[in-house]
């Protein structure tokens, strides 16, 4: 990033999702939670998808992909996905 350039702004909903994931999984402050909305270029894939990653300092990383934008994901969507222990869509 060029000197003086501002980092890209995160959509407010991404920050909410991050905190919701942290709360639902009872994560400590040392565990990183990353929420990214990405353009999907694969055939048959929706134009935007959201990737959620949990990166603990002392364990394996976990990752989930939801095939919709961050502003369409609710706590009700996350709760069963995270509770299942299964990674994926």
Instruction: Catalogue all structural domains in the chain, each as residue range(s) with its CATH number.
Output: 12-83 (3.30.160)
Task: Give me the phi and psi of 50, to 5 degrees please.
Answer: -115, 130
What is the mean pLDDT of the segment spanning 74-84?
Answer: 91
| pTM (2 d.p.) | 0.79
User: pLDDT confidence of 64, banded at 50, 70, 90?
Assistant: very high
Q: Name the phi and psi angles at 14, rounded to 5.
A: -60, -40
Overall average pLDDT of the 59-77 stretch: 92
């Amino acid at each position: 990033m060029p000197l003086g350039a501002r980092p890209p702004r995160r959509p407010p909903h991404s920050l909410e999702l991050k905190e919701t994931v942290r709360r639902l999984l009872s994560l400590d402050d040392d565990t990183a939670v990353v929420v990214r909305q990405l353009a999907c270029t694969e055939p048959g894939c929706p134009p935007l998808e959201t990737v959620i990653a949990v990166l603990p300092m002392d364990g394996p990383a976990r990752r989930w992909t939801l095939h919709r934008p961050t502003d369409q994901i609710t706590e009700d969507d996350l709760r069963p996905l995270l509770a299942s222990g299964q990674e994926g869509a």
